[in-house]
Amino acid sequence: MDIQTLTFIIVGLTFALYIGIAIWSRAGSTNDFYVASGGVHPVLNGMATAADWMSAASFISMAGIVAFAGYDGSVYLMGWTGGYVLLALCLAPYLRKFGKFTVPDFVGDRYYSRAARIIAVLCAIIISFTYIAGQMRGVGVVFSRFLEVDIATGVIIGMVIVFFYTVLGGMKGITYTQVAQYCVLVFAYIVPAVFISLLMTGHVLPQTGFGATLADGSGQYLLQKLDGLSVELGFTEYTEGARSMVDVFFITAALMVGTAGLPHVIVRFFTVPKVRDARRSAFWALVFIAVVYLTAPAIAAFAKVNLFNTINGPEMTGVSHEQAPSWVKNWEKTGLIQWQDKNGDGKMFYSGDERNEMKIDRDIMVLANPEIANLPAWVVALVAAGGIAAALSTSAGLLLVISTSISHDLLKRTLMPNINDRQELMYARFAAAIAILLSGYFGVYPPGFVAQVVAFAFGLAASSFFPAIILGIFHKRMNRAGAVAGMVVGIVFTLAYIIYFKFISPELNNPQHWILGVSPEGIGTLGMIINFVVAIVVHKLTGDAPDDIQEMVESIRYPKGSGAASSH
């Protein structure tokens, strides 16, 4: 059975599973729709959180960017992992005690301001749309190769599926669907990694194979071989970084603190019955996330060595395009691999200098990895199903954030306080429908590769929400004027920086023109610092928050008086 047929079968079965779960667990109230009535078991919530967290950027693009960037790609591993720890230990329990399941709800009540709530809603929508664009792009990449449709058609198929189970099931449907999606994506990620590790190093565990000698009898370590090939072909050493340490620090910090401000992850801690369960589910989510994140560097290294060997040949002199492996021809049809015969010899050559004749999209590395390694067709189809599961799981969570921000925070809590439960649910579903159409557009016309687009979302979260949440919890005197001013200045600065270098003047997008040598992917850290400074200065000029707000903050931070909030 060929790859396309197997992909249709495996992906079709997973879609049927997701839709079946959505129908079984459909939301009947706003409480079901927003937080699954707070009745999810901590272990299952940990799985759902991990699936929500490990988006297309984690599954499809993270190993790809590590494969292409080498050491520099480690910023994504460090930032995203460290950020989740920061969120789980420092913020989630306090937000859970506060009893507000959206960031705009927390900001609006903590800073006693409709203006703060509306600004927070706008920030949540901007962040979520930026993030979801990367997910839809990931869906399009998967479909374009394995179902042999163009990327736009692939995005539309993904839109229909995720719209169905988000609008029907809400958080309740999404949670149990994400449990199934985690099982699919982790199995799809680990199986080919184990196969390739055995073939290349003889080690069952990819993590140990990553640091082992090759099984070809050369006695060379995998990374030693990769460093040698990289230098020979005009790339920098795989284990040496090209980014400045300043940029590495800023990107890592932006990813870390951006994680702590991501609205679709925070809401996960309200789907369990108690504060204690929120902590437990955070622990389990970290365990489930680690399974994939600790495997990514190995997959990246395996893929890069195999890529060099299959395109350039064992002697690194090039391979005839006519005799190229089938996977090259298959990915060429999607436009994600392109070959230009510069010297007219009919051979493909991939290098990091003027000899290069190949353009390879980094988002294909995980998906193409089983084909490059000549693994069985069912493994290739399984990886396709895993990539789709990763993209759809996060897309669903983000769509829910957008619909909740509009229906609950903007309409119910601000503009239309008299609407009933049924009307609020209707507006939430309508908002999700509009959001899926807009996100589909950005999936077809994305502002960068998947992990890069997602990094922008994290930077926007870092520069807007993180300071407002931290100051809201740990600085009881912080007032609304300071918080609002900080959020506005932080996100406007960061958004303007990204738009300028990515859209207005992309030719200037290099270290010579960046502020302090910080790339658009890392500028969220500087935006966060500006947010903190502006918020504190404005607070000093405008006085402390009212006494009742300070008492409320005290009740969040200390067990005394937090029992009532814990039961919500």
Domains of the chain: 3-303+375-566 (1.20.1730.10)
Buried b or exposed e, range 342-377, using 16+ CB within 10 angstroms: eeeeebbbbbeeeebbbebbbbbbbbbbbbbbebeb
Round to whole Å and give the CA distance between 247 and 526. 11
Round to whole Å and give the CA distance between 294 and 274. 30
DSSP 235: P
Round to whole Å and give the CA distance between 96 and 106. 10
| pLDDT, tens digit only, all 568 positions of the chain | 777 788 888 888 887 887 787 677 665 555 555 555 556 788 888 888 887 777 776 777 788 888 888 888 888 888 878 887 777 777 777 777 777 667 788 888 899 888 888 888 888 888 877 777 777 777 777 777 777 777 788 888 878 877 776 666 566 667 777 788 888 888 889 999 999 999 999 999 999 999 999 998 888 999 999 999 999 999 989 988 788 889 999 999 998 888 777 766 777 777 777 777 777 888 888 888 888 889 999 999 999 999 998 899 888 888 999 888 888 888 888 788 899 998 888 999 999 888 899 998 887 888 888 888 888 888 888 888 888 777 776 777 777 777 877 887 788 877 888 888 788 878 888 888 888 888 788 777 766 555 567 778 888 889 998 999 899 989 999 999 999 999 999 999 999 999 899 888 988 989 999 999 999 989 999 999 999 999 999 999 999 999 999 998 888 776 544 444 444 4
Q: At what angle do helices 151-201 and 296-312 cross, to 10 degrees?
A: 90
Round to whole Å and give the CA distance between 277 and 270. 9
Query: Residue 568's pLDDT is what?
Result: 41
Alpha helices by DSSP H, listed for 147-215, are 151-201, 206-209
The pair phi, psi for residue 361, each rounded to 5°, is -70, 125
**Any bridge partners for residue 338, and if so which?**
359
State which H helix or E strand residue 326 sits in. helix 326-332
Query: Residue 24's pLDDT is what?
Result: 72
How far from the centroid of its chain's Cα atoms is residue 541's Cα?
Answer: 38
For residue 549, what are the CA distances in angstroms to 266, 364, 464, 552? Answer: 22, 50, 21, 5
Round to whole Å and give the CA distance between 367 and 325. 15
Computed from CA positions of residues 270, 273, 279, 285, in that sequence, does the dihedral angle turn out positive or negative? negative
**Cβ atoms 221, 214 nearer than 8 A:** yes
Round to whole Å and give the CA distance between 206 and 185. 17
Residue 14 has which token pair?
């997973």
How far from the centroid of its chain's Cα atoms is residue 221's Cα?
Answer: 32
Round to whole Å and give the CA distance between 542 and 63. 48
Per-residue DSSP letters for 130-142?
HHHHHHHHHHHHH
Planar angle of CA 48, 159, 416, nearest 5 degrees: 80
Query: Residue 38's pLDDT is what?
Result: 54
Does this model's pTM top 0.75? My answer is yes
Round to whole Å and give the CA distance between 295 and 76. 14
Round to whole Å and give the CA distance between 560 and 556. 9
**Cβ atoms 262, 461 nearer than 8 A:** yes
How far from the centroid of its chain's Cα atoms is residue 188's Cα?
Answer: 17
Phi-psi region of 202 (alpha: psi -120 to 50; beta: other; left: phi over 0): left
Planar angle of CA 414, 420, 422, nearest 5 degrees: 120
**Cβ atoms 398, 128 nearer than 8 A:** yes
